Chain A
Amino acid sequence: MAILVLAEHDNASLKLDTAKVVACGQAIGGEIDVLVVGQDCGAVASEAQKLSGVRNVLVADSASYANHLAENVSDLMLAIAADYEHVLAAASSFGKDVLPRVAALLDVSQLSEVIEVVSSDTFVRPVYAGNALATVQSLDDKKVMTVRSSAFDAVAFDGSAELVTLSQDIAPQVEFVTQSLTESERPELGSASVVVSGGRALGNSENFAILEQLADKLGGALGASRAAVDAGFVPNDLQVGQTGKIVAPDLYIAVGISGAIQHLAGMKDSKVIVAINKDPEAPIFQVADYGLEADLFDAVPQLLEQL
């Protein structure tokens, strides 16, 4: 049976998360179709056609899909779901918003944040902020699931899928008002190979500038702990943790972050973790590959100098 992957995009370009979800689809096995829903998203669709191992790219292009609102995207997915046994999306704010709605419309349960495929109906997912891994078998005829993209390697862009245009148009049931996105020239937090994160110890938003310099020097993304976000040092879409973004870069540098359970849930699968903290008792040192007990205001400028 076939697998439907909901593409993640901003109407202009496809997000790498989609290539990772396709990789999860390949692990399940079966024909993979990618669904692109949006407005004026032709460029996204042609990018999706290149995803390795994809059979069809279904495109629903209409003004009513411009803002990817869950209500009409889920109705559209319900309309085409009959042909698929698996329905997948990235566990992003978009995937998390839409997919449970699709599952409920199909009267099936959903599996959230799948990190491993055991068989076509059995999957592994973290629970309790990543402190336990549950292997769950779905008893439903359709398996609807969100995929933790940091757990899969993106497929190559060497395919040539067929383009299929969908004509269903489902009017929005919610009025979209505004959107304000944080502008940044750094790589996206979720897919960066280096992440530099700061916590409460930075003291204020001005001091985050030294971490920005460090991130830029390493070609990485900037992250933050909840304490730093709540204190207003940085916008909340930079938060790493159970309730923020889950990252697994090659190098994660935690600066002035104590390492609460909720923060560790978002970064402990990073390949190499570096912690800089002046408190030798901070729990972050228990997961760090390299720990440096030092005042960040001394250590970070030195680090900048020596890189």
Chain B
Amino acid sequence: MKVLVPVKRVVDANVKVRVNADNTGVDTANLKMAINPFCEIAVEEAVRLKEAGSASEIVVLSIGPKASQEQLRTALALGADRAIHIETDEDLVPLSIAKLIHAVQQKEQADLVILGKQSIDGDNNQTGQMLAAIGKMPQATFASEVKLDGDKLVVTREIDGGLQTVNLGLPAVVTADLRLNEPRYAKLPNIMKAKRKPLESLTPSDFDVTLKSHQKVIKVTPPAERSGGVMVSSVAELVEKLKNEAKVI
């Protein structure tokens, strides 16, 4: 089973972003960038499937600016076999990304695509589902457990009321939830080895995919600030304030 894992370069999860002065986006210049945490979990799962003998090869893919190659190198250091970078400086919507991933999947003949359930910048939670629709594949979103059983993939999903288990035929799309696994750290020798692993660089025009413009960001604004609260000194004062001032109990 060949596994394709798309990864995204995003602002590090612990950085608090600020909206820029002209309200066109957030300031990302000079911010620490990292592999999207959900993508990291997807890479880890692919590596574990390979270690369990279920996956034969792991190809990682990133679509974005040249600097995304850093995140591909990170994924290679974590255990992926080779990487594909589709270089574009355009900000593509998930639908366009899904079309490009589908083109790569076809070219690579990958049986399973594991993605993160959402990127922590756009918070869209769409790409995996769209890829599954475009490729007419079954999907298991928000996965917290993935096993290969014969020619079927058994996936446990996190749903609002609890957990759900489904069986998927291959090829299939899985999106990773936080609790799927605990990603490993890349060791120094693996980081050195990753520098010599193959990384193929392509552009969107290398694929027979038409991308169109779907939406326009009119403006980006900071959310309303909460006004500073008060510190109370005792439980009695807290109860009094909740009853008489806030009137919520």
Report if A and B associate in a common complex: yes
Contact residues, A166-221 vs B (CB, 8 A):
173-182, 190, 194, 218
- State the majority secondary structure of interface residues on B: mixed
B199 at the interface (CB under 8 A from A): no
Known: A110-B94, A139-B213. Contact between A97 and B26, CB under 8 A? no
B178 at the interface (CB under 8 A from A): yes
Q: How many A-B residue pairs have CB under 8 A?
A: 247
Task: Compute how far the CA of A218 lies from the CA of B160 in the bound complex, rounded to whole angstroms.
Answer: 23
B17 at the interface (CB under 8 A from A): yes
Q: Which of B163, B230, B236 contacts A306 (CB 8 A)?
A: B236
Q: List, in ascending order, chain A residues with CB within 8 A of B131's CB.
A: 104
Task: Compute how far the CA of A135 lies from the CA of B161 in the bound complex, rounded to whole angstroms.
Answer: 31
Q: CB distance A105 to B126 under 8 Å? A: no
Give the B interface residue count (CB, 8 A): 80
Give A contacts to B, CB under 8 Å.
Answer: 10, 67, 69-71, 74, 92-94, 96-105, 107-113, 122, 126-140, 173-182, 190, 194, 218, 226, 229-230, 235-237, 242-243, 245, 250-251, 261-262, 268, 271-274, 285-294, 299, 302-303, 306-307
Q: Which of B93, B134, B159, B222 contacts A94 (CB 8 A)?
A: B159
Q: CB distance A71 to B229 under 8 Å? A: no
Task: Compute how far the CA of A96 lies from the CA of B141 in the bound complex, rounded to whole angstroms.
Answer: 9
Contact residues, B212-238 vs A (CB, 8 A):
213-223, 226, 228-236, 238
Q: CB distance B217 to A134 under 8 Å? A: yes
Known: A100-B125, A226-B178. Contact between A74 and B133, CB under 8 A? yes
Q: List, in ascending order, chain B residues with CB within 8 A of A108's CB.
A: 95, 214
Q: List, in ascending order, chain A residues with CB within 8 A of B223's CB.
A: 126, 130-133, 268
Q: CB distance A251 to B121 under 8 Å? A: no
Q: Which 6 A-B pairs have the closest CB atoms?
A: A109-B214, A100-B129, A104-B133, A104-B130, A100-B126, A181-B162
Q: List, in ascending order, chain A residues with CB within 8 A of B138's CB.
A: 71, 173-174
Q: List, in ascending order, chain B residues with CB within 8 A of A105's CB.
A: 133
**Binary A-proximity of B83-98 (CB < 8 A = 1, otherwise 0):** 0000000000111001
Q: CB distance B17 to A139 under 8 Å? A: no
Shortest CB distance B43–A (Å): 17
Q: CB distance B141 to A179 under 8 Å? A: no
Q: Which of B160, B220, B230, B249 contacts A307 (CB 8 A)?
A: B249
Q: CB distance A289 to B154 under 8 Å? A: no
Can you identify 10 A-B contacts, CB atoms within 8 angstroms? A93-B141, A109-B214, A112-B124, A131-B18, A131-B222, A136-B216, A243-B177, A285-B231, A292-B234, A299-B235
Q: CB distance A110 to B126 under 8 Å? A: yes
Task: Compute how far the CA of A208 lies from the CA of B65 in the bound complex, rounded to whole angstroms.
Answer: 46
Task: Compute how far the CA of A36 lies from the CA of B98 in the bound complex, rounded to whole angstroms.
Answer: 28
Shortest CB distance A43–B (Å): 18
Task: Compute how far the CA of A177 lies from the CA of B168 in the bound complex, rounded to whole angstroms.
Answer: 10
